[in-house]
Chains A and B, each alone.
Chain A
Amino acid sequence: MPEVNGLKMPAKASEKEMKNIHIDPVPDDQKVEVALQHLDEMRKKFRSFVMAMESCVKCGACAENCHTYLGTKDPNNIPTNRAELIRKIYKRYFTLEGRWFGKLVGAEDLTLDVLEQWYSYFYQCNECRRCAMSCPFGIDTCEVTFVGRQILHWLGMVPKLHANVGAAMEKAGNHTGLPKPSLIDTLEFLSEEIQEEFGVEVNFPVDKPDSDILYIPSSADFLLNPYTLMGAGMFFTYIGANWTIPSTVAEAGNFGLLFDQRFTQRHNVTRLLDASQKLGIKKIVWGECGHGWRAAKMYIPTLADRPVKWPIVHLHDETSYYVNTNQLKLDPGKNNHPTTLHDPCNYGRACGMTKQLRDVLSACVTDFREMTPNQEKNFCCGGGSAILFDDPEMYDLRIKFSAKKAEQVRATGVGANGDGYLCAPCSICKAQLYPMVEEHKLGVEVKGLIDLLGKALVWK
């Protein structure tokens, strides 16, 4: 699969895998017609999409603000050209100028080859929105990627990775497919680890009724980022919170945002609201997951099909509050490493969370150095929207997409002695950066932010 017509692309989900996420793949001879129907629906619905189709002046300002173009120099990775893959079809079928002047204005017929192009390039977009920030009009190519992936989903063209995560969520309530007993086993193991390493007693209550706080961890934290989960547990214990983790939605991520903003995305939301009601909680606190936080903070209000009565905040909205009000005793000496911070795109450009991260990090480490550009201007790690594919061609692209990040980290000098920390408080950033710091030989270890806070807490 990794190459079709010379296009790099991730392996597609099989028919059976598509059926698991409730889609009957459309046969090839009907794909074009069905795609056009969906495109027509989408353009009538989403103004953000229409504006990207109709008001770009092709100035090229977005080109060097997209790390995928910087890393590959592939013209189709220039944001406006990525959008052009749909725009040329849009013009041909839905505008007068496209119907009358065709090629002159860049209109083109939809074919199966074009659909393969969509599949290739919409899964080379990290949905990081740096293009929206740099465009003189604010044209958001991420919105075009959303529309492209949504239509591809309805046609039955979804990467295996995304389809299987969607299916696992529905079956188990988390992306990793962990059943409740495994969640509890892992949490008990983490309690023991904390006892051994930090000498404190931390319990991870699961599905505890009448809790005040519902904590939504990323399921990747159970396997890949244990210190993130341990850090959160230590924080809640330290402040004496009455908290719990819901087994039915032990997942901060929401892949629906990334490939199916209808059923798949709403399904997670429904699970969350059910759990909140059942456990009688008062506030929902989100774990370290960038796209998941965007999906929760910005999309739950429009996706929930009933009133949402619980405030939803991010863990670091809270940690920063307690740090800034001096309620936590922290010893930065416990994280005595040169540290830099990678701002996850979804925090910086979609959720307004940049200051909080700095407030917490600078209280937890001895030597914090900003990378440039930072905050909302930061570049993506190259993993955004979970294009964490392992097919060799796609893995090679991940290395190229993270080239800009590597350059930024190197410029801070934190890895000069091989003992630097790269703080990246997002599950997808972590999954991308764990291998990438090796590929680019950056001399840094990737850490979550709550990991460092957990370590810095002074208990007595």
Chain B
Amino acid sequence: MSYFILQILPYLTMVIFTFGLLYRLGRWAGSRIVHNITLSPFPQSNTQALGILGAELIFFRSLFNFDRPLWIGAWLMHIALFSVIGGHVVGIYFLGRQFVYLGMSASLSENMSAVLGTSMGLLMLAGLLYLLIRRFTIAKVKEVTGPSDYLHLVLLLTIVVIGNIMRLWEHDLGISYAPVKDYVTHLVMLQPVPMNHEVLTKPLFVLHLLFVQILLMIFPFSKLMHVFGMFAERWIINRVYKEPAPGLPNVDVAAARAAGAGLPSGDGAA
């Protein structure tokens, strides 16, 4: 089973994820922007339009303005999520010594990596719990929530909880960077790891990867597509629009007033 999850499933996952994504984006690309539905106030240049996109992307500006309580949970969760994803990549690649490049000693860097990883993992857990509780407790949110919305959060929570357990009890239940790097290298090179490789003997690691792969497989068929949807939608509604110049043809107000336009005949100033 572990062998299947770690050695075979990843390729299946990547195929489903990639083709699913292309299929979904292709569908979007097939439809068109038929009419101009830019939201005003209109950006006056592409730089301004990019500014709107940036503010939404980085700060979740609309949420900040219109639903502050949701913003707190969603923004923290996403920041933690990005950090965690980034942390996985650099941590595994540099074996936790990435901060050496910032001038730290190797052991300090490893500690730093561990502290950051643990805190972001816990922050993400807190964020997800907050979002889940919100779905149960706030009437308006409950009314828009369906079974799949709960399941998404539960799936994410499962992944994050397992990840946190592996971090917090690293020596008993977790795994260190080195064997993981070795495993990923083999995976990318399309080579199987030996049957007695450490990754195959860590049940939590195997479970963690199983749920991550499930997440990636449903990604193209779920609301997780909001990541790309955001760009597609902003491309429609935050576009440059230039106003025509004001001023009416052949109008000279001063002359009209001097001539007494509208005043009863004989009553004019002229």
Inside 8 A of A65's CB, which chain B residues have their CB? 66-67
A349 near B40: Cβ-Cβ < 8 Å:
yes
- Nearest residue, chain B, Cβ from A350: B40
B229 near A60: Cβ-Cβ < 8 Å:
no
CB within 8 Å of B: which A138-166 residues:
138-140, 143
Give the complex CA separation of A69 and B139 in angstroms. 12
Give the complex CA separation of A376 and B238 in angstroms. 14
Give the complex CA separation of A132 and B221 in angstroms. 23
Inside 8 A of B67's CB, which chain A residues have their CB? 59-61, 64-65, 134
Inside 8 A of A376's CB, which chain B residues have their CB? 39-41
Q: Which of A69, A137, A348, A350 contacts B229 (CB 8 A)?
A: A137
A55 near B232: Cβ-Cβ < 8 Å:
yes
Total interface residues on A, using CB and 8 Å? 88
A459 near B24: Cβ-Cβ < 8 Å:
no
B232 near A51: Cβ-Cβ < 8 Å:
yes
Q: Which of A56, A140, A242 contacts B37 (CB 8 A)?
A: A140
Q: Give the total number of A-B pairs whose CB atoms are below 8 A apart.
A: 247
A352 near B35: Cβ-Cβ < 8 Å:
no
CB within 8 Å of B: which A106-133 residues:
106, 129, 132-133
**Given contacts A57-B226, A237-B261, are A352 and B41 in contact (CB under 8 A)?**
yes
Total interface residues on B, using CB and 8 Å? 76
- Nearest residue, chain A, Cβ from B42: A352
Give the complex CA separation of A248 and B252 in angstroms. 29
**Given contacts A133-B39, A240-B259, are A302 and B34 in contact (CB under 8 A)?**
yes
Closest CB in chain B relative to A276 CB, distance in Å: 13
Give the one of A45, A97, A240, A301 with max B CB within 10 A: A240
A313 near B36: Cβ-Cβ < 8 Å:
no
Give the complex CA separation of A211 and B127 in angstroms. 64
**Given contacts A51-B229, A237-B262, are A135 and B62 in contact (CB under 8 A)?**
yes
- Nearest residue, chain A, Cβ from B148: A105
Say which one of B25-33, B94-102, B191-199 lies at the interface with A: B25-33
Closest CB in chain A relative to B42 CB, distance in Å: 5
Q: Does B182 contact A (CB under 8 A)?
A: no
CB within 8 Å of A: which B209-240 residues:
218, 221-223, 225-226, 228-230, 232-234, 236-238
- Nearest residue, chain B, Cβ from A75: B143
A44 near B30: Cβ-Cβ < 8 Å:
yes
Closest CB in chain B relative to A141 CB, distance in Å: 12
Q: Does A460 contact B (CB under 8 A)?
A: yes
Inside 8 A of A44's CB, which chain B residues have their CB? 30-31
Closest CB in chain B relative to A241 CB, distance in Å: 5
Give the complex CA separation of A282 and B248 in angstroms. 9
Q: Does A6 contact B (CB under 8 A)?
A: no
Q: Does A30 contact B (CB under 8 A)?
A: no
Q: Does A78 contact B (CB under 8 A)?
A: yes
Q: Does A312 contact B (CB under 8 A)?
A: yes
- Nearest residue, chain B, Cβ from A74: B143
Closest CB in chain A relative to B226 CB, distance in Å: 5
Inside 8 A of B259's CB, which chain A residues have their CB? 240
- Nearest residue, chain A, Cβ from B145: A58
A138 near B39: Cβ-Cβ < 8 Å:
yes
Inside 8 A of A167's CB, which chain B residues have their CB? none
A54 near B225: Cβ-Cβ < 8 Å:
yes
A212 near B264: Cβ-Cβ < 8 Å:
no
B249 near A212: Cβ-Cβ < 8 Å:
yes
Inside 8 A of B237's CB, which chain A residues have their CB? 48, 132, 138, 140
Please list 13 pairs of residues, one from A and one from B, whose beta carbons are closer than 8 Å in the complex, sorted by A's number.
Answer: A47-B32, A51-B28, A61-B67, A63-B143, A97-B221, A134-B62, A139-B229, A143-B37, A200-B263, A261-B35, A327-B254, A352-B241, A459-B262
What is the interface of chain A, defined by CB distance below 8 A to chain B?
43-51, 54-61, 63-65, 69, 75, 78, 80-81, 84, 95-97, 101, 103-106, 129, 132-140, 143, 199-202, 212-213, 234, 237-242, 261, 282-283, 285, 298-299, 301-303, 311-313, 317-318, 320-322, 327-329, 348-354, 376, 459-460
